[in-house]
Amino acid sequence: MAASAALRSARAQAVWTRAELCAADLGRAAHWTTPSLRQRVTQALRWPAVDSLAEPLPPLDTLIAVGGGTLLDQAKLLRWQRHPELRLIAVPSLWGSGAESSPVAVINTPEGKAITVDDGLLPEVRVSWPELLESVPEGRLRQGSGDAWAHALEGFLSPLAGPDLRRDLAALMRRMLAVGLGRDPRWLELCAQASAAQARSSVGLVHGIAHVLESAGATDAAGQRLGHAALCATWLWPVLRFDEQTSGKVGRLLAEHAIEAAAVWATARALCDEALNQRLGPLLRAHWPTVLRDRCTRTNCALVRPNALEFFTAPEGFAVPGASGGPA
């Protein structure tokens, strides 16, 4: 699937298959792989593994980072800050974050999420290796698709999006609708393109809430920590409803770009776990001032006023009897 010009970053990035990676001349190379996949990746590649990115690294021309968004962002930052001479190859072991295709790195700090944006963060190569995702649970992949939908929709609605980017994101969202939310390796490319595109405008309140609640230690009913993708997936629908109710931009822009609005609303609704959102209400209330100051919240397509909290913590929830998912 060829990325259109507007979906390319300012810095070119090559897209390889696993076979192309294995055949490439990478000079002195090593891979840094998430522990659960290290043995498998070591067997598949001819280059050695490094156990960590702690200094000093062995002399290298190329670092191959294999993992989820957090690991890829750590590798991007290390190369950008300390080893700009390294060629970086990113191999996602999950779809969703699109960290492999964006010039953005997000890391956890004691003060919350720190976001760095620089063209130098973009890996030179990203590799599509769908077999690495075979053991990922269905629910986790679905959340990853929710993260990609949040990237695409918030990037599309962003006040910083120009007409070319909106047109290309509209085309991307039509492909996302056609693929659906199931386990489908085409999501690897869709997520990569959605992430690259949002980096050229901005994301919004979905990401603002996700950043803050993840840092605040949000958990599900079983006490499991909720990651970025899970939070984006479940907050997408309420935020879209808020955006539409407050600004009317969602319906107008979807119509202007001939995107089937009912299908978008239904997808967002399907990704939402309303019981989870209700459960997270008190945590959201406690951290709402931080959400308001998050840089993503501040580029939401609709102004997020302090009293918007009441919309997201209403005791009756977001569901409107008889509504199909879109605004009542």
Partner 1 sequence: MTDRERLKALLIDTFLLDPEEFRFDLQRAQVDTWDSLGVVSLAVGVEQTFGYHLTPEEAMSLDGVPALVAILQREGISCGG
Question: Of 195, 134, 140, 188, which Cα lies nearest the Cα of 169?
Answer: 195
Among 295, 309, 311, 317, binds partner 1 (CB under 8 A): 295
Applying CB under 8 A, the span of 36-44, 179-187, 275-283, 303-311 interacting with partner 1 comes to 303-311
Q: Is 317 in the site for partner 1 (CB under 8 A)?
A: no
Looking at 64-72, 97-105, 123-131, 305-313, which segment touches partner 1 (CB under 8 A)? 305-313
Report the C-alpha gap between 172 and 193 in whole angstroms. 8
Span interacting with partner 1, options 91-99, 252-260, 266-274, 296-304, rule CB under 8 A: 296-304
Stretch that binds partner 1, among 12-20, 129-137, 267-275, 286-294 (CB under 8 A): 286-294
| CA dihedral over 277, 279, 285, 288, signed as positive or negative | negative
Residue nearer to partner 1 on the CB measure, 148 or 210:
210
- State the Cα–Cα distance between residues 296 and 294, nearest whole angstrom: 5
Q: Is 285 in the site for partner 1 (CB under 8 A)?
A: no
* Residue whose tokens read 């695409």: 152
- Contact with partner 1 (CB under 8 A) among 180, 298, 311, 327: 298
Q: How far is the CB of 285 from partner 1 (least distance, A)?
A: 16
Of 84, 110, 217, 306, which one interacts with partner 1 (CB under 8 A)? Answer: 306
Could you give the count of Cα atoms lying within 13 Å of 308 in the half-sphere of its Cβ? 24
Of 174, 188, 81, 63, the residue nearest 134 (C-alpha): 188
Of positions 14, 160, 323, 328, contacts partner 1 by CB under 8 A? 160
> Do the Cβ atoms of 105 and 122 come closer than 8 Å?
no
| Closer CB to partner 1, 240 or 276, in the complex | 240
Q: What is the dihedral of CA 214, 102, 195, 74, to 10 degrees?
A: -30
In the complex with partner 1, which residue's Cβ is closer, 11 or 305? 305
- Give the interface size with partner 1 as a residue count (CB under 8 A): 18
CB of 24 within 8 A of CB of 185? no
Rounded Cα–Cα distance for residues 318 and 296 (Å): 22
Q: How far is CA 58 from CA 77, 125, 181, in A?
A: 17, 21, 41
Q: How far is the CB of 306 from partner 1 (least distance, A)?
A: 6
Q: Minimum Å distance from CB 293 to partner 1?
A: 7
Pure H helices in 205-260: 205-215, 228-247, 249-256
Candidate segments 3-11, 87-95, 102-110, 289-297, binder of partner 1 by CB under 8 A: 289-297
Binding flags for partner 1, 188-207, as an x/- string (CB under 8 A): --------------x-----
Task: Give the angle 51-52-56 at the CA atoms, nearest 5°.
Answer: 110
Up-side HSE of residue 27: CA atoms within 13 Å toward CB?
11
Closer by beta carbon to partner 1, 140 or else 295: 295
Site for partner 1 in 228-247 (CB under 8 A): 246-247
In this complex, which beta carbon is closest to partner 1, that of residue 263 or of residue 292? 292
> Residue 192's closest CA among 259, 103, 261, 303?
103
**Exposed/middle/buried for residue 145 (C-beta within 10 Å: 0-12, 13-18, 19+):** buried
Q: Give the interface segment with partner 1, choosing from 108-116, 119-127, 142-150, 299-307 (CB under 8 A).
A: 299-307
Task: Work out which of 159, 180, 317, 327 binds partner 1, going by CB under 8 A.
Answer: 159
Q: Which residues bind partner 1 (CB under 8 A)?
A: 159-160, 202, 246-247, 289, 292-293, 295, 298-303, 305-307
